[in-house]
A and B are shown apart, each in its own frame.
Chain A
Amino acid sequence: MAGTWVFVEQKDGNIRKVTYEMLSECKKGGDEVAAVVFGQGVEGLAGELAKYGADKVYVADDAIFATYNTGAYVAQMVAMINEFSPNAVLFAHSFNGRDMASRLAQKLDTGLATDAVAAEISAGKGVFTRAIYAGKALAKVEVAGSPVLATIRPGVWEVGSTAGAGAVVKAAVAATAADVYQVMKEFRPTVSARPDLAEAAVVVSGGRGCKGPEGIKLVENLADMLGAAVGGSRASIDSGWLGHELQVGQTGKVVLPNLYIACGISGAIQHLAGMSSSKYIAAINTDTEAPIFGVSDFGVVADLFKVIPLLMDNLKK
């Protein structure tokens, strides 16, 4: 048994940042770090993966892996785990990562720690800190098994610059058409010039205080000026001002940006759970008693309709 594997999150050859975060963190330990990439025409990604710490890059390249599908990906992973016996396999805590890791864990009859924010891995054992209640509490858990499986929350680890050898190992294609039980009829990419909420360095969110689409428009303008993602509290999602995929909180997304700007958000407990781990938090709210100020590094008690345009003028200077 050897090595920690990082399953590469990529779409059309674009590798998600969380992959680099996982490689960099694993590289800090003494164990061999391998990136595992499935796809079609993906061998060329090895160089990029080596830069962030991959000593080895296992490549499963075939048309059957062109787009993610649980059955084929899990069948391939099982075959590779049986052949190479890694100590641990880490996935991103994304929709695909948790889908694949869950089915894989059950197939291998092993434990899985999802949404981990810290990891200590040794042969046959992994100790992970998991965010529970959307981050209102933390649970330290031990996963026994070989391999140890976990999904890692994006944004908790720094991308480093220690390179690995990046030796390419071509894996035999073990998945067959018989493994595929989901038929992808259509994929509609989100058409947005803004970064993904879960990975953005800056998030600007709007809540009830936005009062409607005009207020949200101000939030969006500020976000675009900062190259930020747009998010919302439950009030603005339930009112239909923003789509559910942009909800930040316990029944939405957990975000960890460098800067979170809460505009017209009072700070209900379920919203705070989704954003209070941000590095810097700014809040704009007319209610001086709003709980959001309790977690804010910089709060202004003022009307967002007046402050946001003035803030943008000041930032331009």
Chain B
Amino acid sequence: MKVLVCVKQTFDTEAKIELKDGKISDAGINLIINPYDEVAVEGGIQLKEKGIAKEVVILSAGSDKAMDAIRTALAMGADRGILVKQDTAADEYARATALAAAIKEENPDIILAGHVAADDGSSQVPTRIAEILGLPHVNVITAIEIAGGKATCTCEADGGTSVIEVNIPAVISSQVSWNEPRYPSMKGIMAAKKKPVATKDAAAVANKVNIIEFALPAAKQAGVKIEDDPDVCAAKLAEWMKNVVKVEVK
């Protein structure tokens, strides 16, 4: 069985966002694998360690910089990579189209990805890939079992937890609570340098969503800060909650 994991390179979640010339500035920003995708990589590697998957392929669409994200995933234990070179301004439709084209050539049994990217927060790409490929999908999984040509997934759902079964091949997207991604070992990092990564160019596809402008939200102003005895602090905070916020107490 072949597992393919889609990864996106994103800003570190601790990054402060600033604008330069009307665009989001990437100056001095640490780039990482989208944390939701990193969990998908770990999930794929665990399927291999359990003997369910024979091969774990990493796929990323983006600029040349995305090679670092692929190498990190290979250092964690994936087998080989594919980088589809694409303008980073590609929207979810264009991105899914490019990824789906590469996936089709690979013909994997399971396609994993994070359910959302920590940067644009779109949560569309895995589901769009499934539709393009005509495959079932399951989103936001926290556990998976694969047996008898089916994937049984535990998912975070609105108002609870659901258990959903689909036939494979399928596209499955991960929630961050699925697992704890490993840190690449020094041995893994050395081995990753020798693992093959194919590169190709994405076919040109027009975006369906066009960005008009970026803005930063109005900075929240700090209000009152009290440093005093706990009973004074508590009394004043209670007064504010009752008189300003007008909370209801049960």
Contacts and interface: CB of A to CB of B under 8 A. Distances in A.
Contacts of A225: 249-250
Interface string A287-317: 0100001111111111100110011011111
B240 A106 contact: no
B167 interface: yes
Interface string A152-165: 00000000000000
B139 A293 contact: no
Interface in B187-224: 207-217, 220, 222-224
A141 B220 contact: no
What range describes how many residues of B lie at the interface?
A: 35 or more
Given A103-B130, A226-B247, A251 B176 contact: yes
A280 to B, nearest CB: 5
A313 B234 CA distance: 9
A301 B215 contact: no
B230 A306 contact: yes
Nearest to A187: B162
A112 B124 contact: yes
Contacts of B159: 11, 189-190, 196
Max count, chain A CB within 10 A of own CB: residue among B16, B118, B157, B226? B157
B54 interface: no
Contacts, number: 271
Contact of A270 (B13, B152, B157): B13
B158 A141 contact: no
Contacts of A315: 238, 241-242, 247, 249
Nearest to B118: A250
Main secondary structure of the interface of A (DSSP, over half): mixed
A177 interface: no
A112 B13 contact: no
Contact of B167 (A70, A181, A186): A181
B247 A259 contact: yes
Main secondary structure of the interface of B (DSSP, over half): mixed
A122 interface: no
Contacts of B105: none
Given A185-B152, A226-B248, A258-B245, A114 B123 contact: yes
A301 B132 contact: no
A239 B71 CA distance: 29
Nearest to A113: B209
12 contacts: A95-B140, A98-B139, A103-B127, A105-B93, A112-B209, A114-B122, A130-B121, A136-B217, A137-B215, A142-B209, A298-B226, A302-B229
A70 B176 CA distance: 22
A94 B238 CA distance: 33
B42 interface: no
B140 A270 contact: no
B164 A184 contact: yes
Interface in B124-162: 124, 127-128, 130-132, 136-140, 142, 152, 155-162
B120 interface: yes
* Closest 9 pairs (CB-CB, A-B): A111-B208, A314-B238, A310-B234, A244-B177, A102-B127, A106-B131, A306-B230, A297-B223, A300-B233
Contacts of A310: 230-231, 233-235
Contact of B250 (A127, A227, A243, A284): A227
Given A127-B212, A251-B35, 17 more contacts: A70-B137, A103-B127, A114-B121, A140-B214, A141-B209, A184-B164, A187-B162, A226-B249, A244-B177, A245-B156, A251-B13, A268-B14, A269-B15, A298-B223, A298-B224, A302-B229, A315-B241
B17 A133 contact: yes
Nearest to A273: B13
A294 B19 CA distance: 21
A115 B35 CA distance: 19
Interface residues of A, number: 93
A130 B117 CA distance: 14
Nearest to A300: B233
A54 to B, nearest CB: 21
A28 B161 CA distance: 36
A185 B244 CA distance: 48
Contacts of A61: none
Interface in A110-149: 110-115, 127, 130-145
A184 B234 contact: no
B237 interface: yes
A198 to B, nearest CB: 9
B177 A182 contact: no
B121 to A, nearest CB: 5
Contact of A303 (B128, B212, B230, B236): B230
Given A185-B152, A268-B14, A307-B237, A103 B131 contact: yes
A259 B164 contact: no
A113 B207 CA distance: 12
